[in-house]
Amino acid sequence: MSNKWFALWIALAMGGSCHLVAPIPGRADEPAAVPDRAEAHCVVELCFSSAVEYSNPFLDVEVAALVTQPDGRQLRVPAFWAGAGQWRVRYASGIIGSHTYRTVCSDTANTGLHAVEGMIDVVPYRGDNPLLLHGPVQVAADRRHFAHADGTPFLWLGDTWWKGLCRRLTWEGFQELTADRQAKGFSVVQIVCGPYPDEGVFEARWENEGGKPYETRDFTVVNPTYFDYADRRIRHLVDAGIVPAIVGGWGRADCDAMQLAGVDGMKRHWRHLVARYGALPTVWIIGGESGGPQWTEVARYVQEIDPYQRLVTVHPFDSGRTSVTDETVVDFDMLQTGHGDWNAAQGAIPKFRTAYARTPVMPVMIGEYCYEGHMQTAFQDVQRYVFWSSMLSGSAGLTYGAAGVWHASVEGDPGLANVYDRTTWREGMQYPGSTQLGLGKRLLEQYPWWRFAPHPEWAEPDCFAAGVPGEVRFIYQPRRGVYNWQGTVVKGLEPGVPYRACYVDPVNGKRYEAGTFVSTGPPRPLFAGHAAPLLASDSFDQPAGQAWEDHGTPSQVEAGCLVGGKGLVTVLADIREADLMVSVDARSDAEAGIVLRFQDADQYVVALYSPLLKAIFLHDRQDGTWGEQLGHVDVPEIGPQIHLTAATCGSYAALVLTDGTRTYATPPVTLRNTARGQAGLWLYQIGDRQAFDNFQLSRTPFAPPRPASDDATQHPLLWCDEFRGPTLPSPQDWILILERIAP
């Protein structure tokens, strides 16, 4: 197939309108001009045939179309040499109406390329592709996020296909990978159209089906056939609703495109990219791992020649805006935070927060971090951590990467000069992190995520929080330990706002309801002290004190303490209440528990400290079964003498432990046992002996607040500005969502 007919086939495959030979003005037999036609934001391709033959058309002549839009604004749209004697202009607009154009050529005597006039009718778009329905991506009005041209929010979830234009990844494979990422919810693909990372330029692995993009190292002789095949792939991404974020080359010392082609060569290369792909809803990444004055100059040049003003950034070694010498050449700040495993993941967020705090304000996002499976590290739990911690710290999006995919690896050819991974692209495509990040994106899109602002003050230090005050809060709680079911704490709740809470599993998206509640006042201590008068008090100074009943191993009073060994369960004989507060002194070298709502040895509530687990929690013992640890809180340090206070109120209970210096408290937990019962003391099996002292018992000293909503479950243990999340469904990372209940 000749270059001319191959180019025509590519143009038609892209859905553009074409005429191979433009009419020559002034001819008597010139046919009546027929306007080209395109739907809004769709590409129309104008084809022009040169009347002059050039020895090196790519270098010898420059062509553009001056397009006048219906609003009177004029755009200079660069053309590209398409092979043989053909030049093409690709144009798209969201402005409905008639657009007129007139070509300009540096060789003004070339009647086929200079002063050719025509018209393009832009009509409304009739499809459902979001990139065409809502328009290309730009910086949103708040300067923190991205949005389509019509203002529709755009959540950037990118994938890394640096070498996705090479022939190792076949056209069929490219379509398969695109379909996979589209189905998972990815909205961007970062792809290199130029020199690749981790390989020498002009190696055979740089080729696609049409060969190498250039025939000379200074980029003076282009190979149009390479770009014809690249066209098909880049357009296919757009057809799938995925933004191509095109990288012009690499800047690292071992694969430095700038050293290879120089500033002039990179400008030629970028003019060609803008001419071919600028009409598509693309994003420009000027260079990978690049920066300094030369790359800054190229970025400024792209801004000057791009009639569509697509978003521009630089993929850096660190922060994009700090890698250029003039921050005005980038529209958003892209970070590379480094590879590794958990050390790299946890180090990414401080770098992000530093970039987010810089001025002037612009969208900030991580464009490369530890790829999933890269050198057998950073699997799906690491991917979830970086996604949620960055998104809830104010990120405009995130770009994921997977071993095998980013370097288009196939069996027998990993596509790397130094082999990091033998993973193939199809194996990497199936890594679970890509699915889980897609679920995260879809979860955010169920809420007004573009209005979210980071609120670290809402969360505990190891968690991440963002949302809209008074409306919705997202808290990401990373895994805290293999046996740690402790829920997180949400702080600073607005008084009188009823919330419904749920846990969302970031692995599969399943929801677990966590109840409804409302904050009704300022913070107050969980237990301010016993209400007067006390119902019972025993300092165990006299053998004949309160009447105690043993329901386990025997207890006895000695040396001013109530003493018992393993299996101790002893309760006061004469008091039966549902809502009680009990406090007691004990030692920390043995289990120490407070019994509440005791009906018999198989039915009661116990709030306890365990020296074996170094934790406090509650058990709601039912039918002789202990059940799960409720409200588990780690107690890493505690003194030899401890003071426990436990209380029940309605369907809730909680425990506070202190040694006079350190204090630990469980969150309020939900009980099934709400019946009246006795109160007492307990030691099950850890420690040979426990000595209790200063036992006090009173009615729970809280008056339940008036409900702010019929739907809001009230209980006095939440009478503060904090919500203490209930026990986690399992000890892993979780998303806690608090959503305001509609009136």
Element (H, E) at 10: helix 3-13
Domain assignment present for residue 529? The answer is no
Q: Are residues 471 and 415 in the same domain?
A: no
Q: Residue 515 has what pLDDT? A: 83
DSSP state of 360: S
Neighbouring C-beta atoms of residue 75, cutoff 10 Å: 18
d(CA 242, CA 258): 29
Q: Is 732 helix (H, G, I), strand (E, B) or coil?
A: coil
Q: Are residues 694 and 709 in the same domain?
A: no
Domain assignment present for residue 531? The answer is no
Domain end residue (candidates: 452, 471, 491): 452
Q: Residue 97 has what pLDDT? A: 97
Q: Residue 7 has what pLDDT? A: 40
Q: Residue 544 has what pLDDT? A: 60
Q: What is the CATH number of the domain that holds 145?
A: 3.20.20.80
Peptide bond into 35 cis (omega under 30): no
d(CA 692, CA 294): 76
Q: Residue 666 has what pLDDT? A: 86
Domain end residue (candidates: 61, 95, 123): 123
Q: Half-sphere exposure of 208 toward its Cβ, with a 13 Å CA cutoff?
A: 28
Q: Are residues 7 and 24 in the same domain?
A: yes
Q: What is the CATH number of the domain that holds 591?
A: 2.60.120.560
Q: Are residues 634 and 715 in the same domain?
A: no
Residues of the chain with pLDDT under 50: 1-33, 703-719
Q: At what angle do helices 257-277 and 293-305 cross, to 10 degrees?
A: 10
Domain assignment present for residue 152? The answer is yes
Domain assignment present for residue 525? The answer is no
Q: Are residues 419 and 473 in the same domain?
A: no
Contact between 270 and 282 (Cβ < 8 Å) = no
Domain assignment present for residue 366? The answer is yes
Domain assignment present for residue 380? The answer is yes
Q: Are residues 266 and 138 in the same domain?
A: yes
Q: Are residues 392 and 502 in the same domain?
A: no
Q: Residue 20 has what pLDDT? A: 29
Strand 472-477 relative to strand 592-600, pairing: unpaired
Beta bridge mates, 585: 643, 693
Q: Is 95 helix (H, G, I), strand (E, B) or coil?
A: coil
- With tokens 């000749």, the residue in question is 2
Strand 188-192 relative to strand 156-161, pairing: parallel
Contact between 131 and 103 (Cβ < 8 Å) = no
Beta bridge mates, 557: 562
**Closest to 549 measured CA to CA, from 567, 570, 563:** 570
- Expressed as residue numbers, the domain containing 109 is 3-123
Chain-centroid distance of CA 358 in Å reads: 20
Query: What average pLDDT does the chain have?
Result: 90
**Closest to 169 measured CA to CA, from 206, 198, 222, 214:** 206
Question: What φ, ψ does residue 423 adopt, rounded to 5°?
Answer: -65, 135
Residue 633: burial class (beta carbons within 10 Å; 0-12, 13-18, 19+) = buried
- With tokens 């400290």, the residue in question is 609
Tokens representing residue 236 in the block: 């296919």
Q: What is the CATH number of the domain that holds 66?
A: 2.60.40.10
Cα separation values, 61 from 50, 112, 215, 601, Å: 10, 12, 18, 95
Q: Are residues 104 and 162 in the same domain?
A: no
Q: Are residues 90 and 182 in the same domain?
A: no
Residues in the chain: 743
Split into its structural domains, the chain has a count of 4
Q: Residue 702 has what pLDDT? A: 60
Domain assignment present for residue 543? The answer is yes
Q: Residue 720 has what pLDDT? A: 52
d(CA 532, CA 375): 65
Domain end residue (candidates: 408, 427, 452): 452
d(CA 65, CA 36): 14
Q: Are residues 505 and 548 in the same domain?
A: no
**Closest to 233 measured CA to CA, from 200, 209, 206:** 209
Q: What is the CATH number of the domain that holds 727?
A: 2.60.40
Cα separation values, 561 from 360, 378, 556, 583, 695, Å: 67, 54, 8, 14, 10
Q: Residue 23 has what pLDDT? A: 31
| pTM of the model as a whole | 0.75
Q: Are residues 135 and 106 in the same domain?
A: no
Identity of the residue numbered 255: C
Domain assignment present for residue 634? The answer is yes
Q: Are residues 679 and 711 in the same domain?
A: no
